[in-house]
């Protein structure tokens, strides 16, 4: 599922609980940090890969502190994204915490 902003991404997430979320930080209406916070308020184990053009160490620190499974800078090798997806999908699926 693709979403053009953070709000439209959260609605289906809550209904479908995807195996992995690929999340951009720069989105209109609700940015990726806010989306990650929302996801973590529901499920601490949901695999979330943050894919961003922001190479700031502070941004990476914030994203990891919020519990992102992986932080990948845009422009990285597609193999890095593929390898990360495979690794995360090999783990048992997470279920929302109650």
Q: How far apart are CA 50 and CA 52, in angstroms?
A: 6
Cα 18 to Cα 57: distance, rounded to the nearest angstrom: 28
> What are the structure tokens assigned to 23, written together?
């999340």
Q: Where are the beta strands (DSSP E) in 1-98?
A: 21-24, 48-52, 70-73
> Whole-angstrom Cα distance, residue 31 to residue 26?
6
Distance CA 12, CA 76 (A): 28
Strands 48-52 and 70-73: parallel
Q: What percent of the chain has pLDDT over 70?
A: 91
Coil/strand/helix, residue 97: coil
Mean pLDDT of the chain: 85
Q: What is the pLDDT of residue 98?
A: 42
Q: pTM score, two decimals?
A: 0.78
Map out the domains of the chain with their CATH numbers.
Answer: 6-90 (3.40.50.2300)
Digit-coded pLDDT (tens) for 19-60: 889 999 998 889 999 999 999 998 998 999 998 888 899 999
């Amino acid at each position: 599922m693709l979403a053009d902003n953070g709000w439209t991404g959260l609605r289906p997430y809550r209904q479908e609980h995807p195996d992995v979320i690929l999340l951009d930080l720069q989105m209109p209406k609700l940015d990726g940090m806010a989306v990650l916070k929302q996801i973590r308020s529901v499920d601490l184990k949901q695999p979330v890969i943050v894919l961003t053009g922001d190479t700031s160490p502070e941004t990476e620190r914030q994203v990891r502190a919020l519990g992102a499974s992986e932080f990948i800078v845009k422009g990285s090798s597609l193999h890095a994204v593929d390898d990360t997806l495979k690794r995360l999908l090999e783990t048992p699926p997470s279920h929302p915490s109650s």
